Structure 1
Amino acid sequence: MDPDGLSDVERVPHGGSDDRHLVDFSANANPVRPAGVADVYEGALADATRYADGFDDFRAAAADYVGCESDDVAYDSDGVECSAVDVIPTAGGLAALRLAFGVTVAPGDQVLVPEPSFGEYAREIRLQGGEPVGVAHDELLDRDPADYAGAVVCTPNNPTGELADPNALDAFRERCRAVGTPLVVDEAFLDFTGAPSLAGEPGVIVARSLTKMFGLPGIRAGFAVGVGDLGERLRTARPPWALSTPAAAVGTYCLRRTEFVERTRERVAGERARMREALSGRYGVAPSEAPFLLVDVGDERDDPDAAVEAVLARARDGGLAIRDARTFARLDSHVRVAVRRPHENDRLLDALLDR
């Protein structure tokens, strides 16, 4: 981290309401959790009297989850093998991103970041003394990575929801590798799609979170994956005791709940399509592969701020919290809404459509 740059770095607004009387559509965590999580957490407390490190079970489960070998097998000089040894446990996806930027960004480096997208990319790059260069999210993969010291891709992108085109992403990854530009890929929502992870690809650091799919933001469990030289850097820089013992136990348990993941994907896909069809009759709604929808609420008497404020107020009057998306770069008339359970989604549609 660059101490000289701290005074110029601001906090980033996020979704999530602390008002327990509101149904929270402003954050994208699954409202459903795997059965048995509470028992796993409580059972791990007995082991919490000792320092936790190694996390072999967690790393093996994470490796399986993203398509790597679960055993600590060796990889060759090109880093083409991906295994549990390449999984770095972190206290959530954001900690994985901080670690990734910490081992790839030096003061003065310019790093490509998508816009609109997760605001923490730019903040974390600035904390390292780097300069984030914002590019329209749907144009980033066309850029020449040779002009930059790093690049970031979010897939599916937050808040727009689209999955990166696999052919374009693979071509961009190859160009990054050819010129030695590290590529950080945020896959926080990828497990809602069934698309393959880039974990194990040379020149790539993947950041993953257990927050979204498993509905446990307060647990703070995630991981990074890198191979070859990037993997060595991650292992060297990782903090010890990166997870609590209960977080590691719950994370291991959740990552092995394959049936839960499949049921969640099916529910989210069906509800997302239903919500988009209903909302599209009144608003502009972006296609999405994620558990949320970006909604352009349009102009109210040519005043986009008034339009957004009116929708936010209508939602709150209906007992709901939705995300003001004006805090994302390049957006000025949008809100973002999570895809929750059917009866909750019905309440959202009633509030936003005045039904």
Structure 2
Amino acid sequence: MVEQDKTSKSTFSAGRASKVERLTISDIAEELGVSKTTVSRAISGKGRIGRETVQRVMECIEKHNYNPNSFLRGLASLKTYNVGVAFPADDNVRNTPFFQRCLLGVCEVAAALNYDVVVTTVKENDINLLKRLVENKKVDGIILTRNLTNDMATAYLKQREMPFLLIGSSEDDTIVQIDNNHMEACEKLTSLLLADGVKRIALIAGDLNHMVNRFRCEGYFNALRRYGISIEQDMIFSDCNSAVFVEQAVRYILKRQSECIVCTDDVICGRVLSMLLEEGYVIPRDIKVASFYDSIYLETNNPPVTAIGFKAEELGTVAGKRLIDLIEGTSSRYKTILDYEIHLRRST
């Protein structure tokens, strides 16, 4: 990042600049009435910039006695005006609206601040695509959209001193985090079910290597403890990452005559609903169903499913703005917790 000297703007505008270090892309952009991104691309030769615009930028540089071919190309290379968004490379992601809506939020705020968005993926044990973005200097900062236990991506980005933040929560308080209070929300929804007289609540959870699933499960446990209900391990099914595992869990739960099935996300819940429909169960007459994450599919299901509403697009918007603030040195490092809603519907 290039920091602008407080006196550079007036000096440049007056045409008295005589030292290379006083020049900034912001000065050129202001004089020509274009964005900093446009100036950067005109100098670097990257991106779709018209010849007339490139010529105006170069003429402005030469007018103030600067050498565009050496200093300014080096200056431009220090900042790409691109932000990276790293999605988990799970098969489930392509069918999960959460990540798509997050990306919409990031793109919206990035465009408003003259940045572009570059998307990549990371695997639990393979972050080579992320490394390529960073090491080839394709982005100025990274947004991670999922945190794992012993996360390779966060460790790498800290080691590289690359500006980044996490959409999610981490026990590492040096990482900038944007998240909802999953533990509190899930405890509250489970408590509402218990208060309504539902006692035997089974839980079907996703991969517990993902921190968000751990927080959601802990909220469920906290509610049971608060109501003095013992935790039955044979009513808890974790790491249900495929339709086969969900089907096995549902069959066992039905044999145990559970009153309610709670799922940690909408994808798992959708599989539970399909399974119950195939088996001829009527919701909520025969069994109740709820989800710790809402989606349009659950909202429009017949019957609509009780779920927790987290605004994924807002997470993306806030994360995008915070990351750009970090890149430009105008943000402090702290955790931001966004609100949630509990949508009580006919499935319970």
- Please give the TM-score of this superposition, normalised by the length of structure 2: 0.31
- Please give the TM-score of this superposition, normalised by the length of structure 1: 0.31
Which structure: greater helix fraction?
2
Higher RCO structure (Cα 8 Å, ≥6 apart):
1
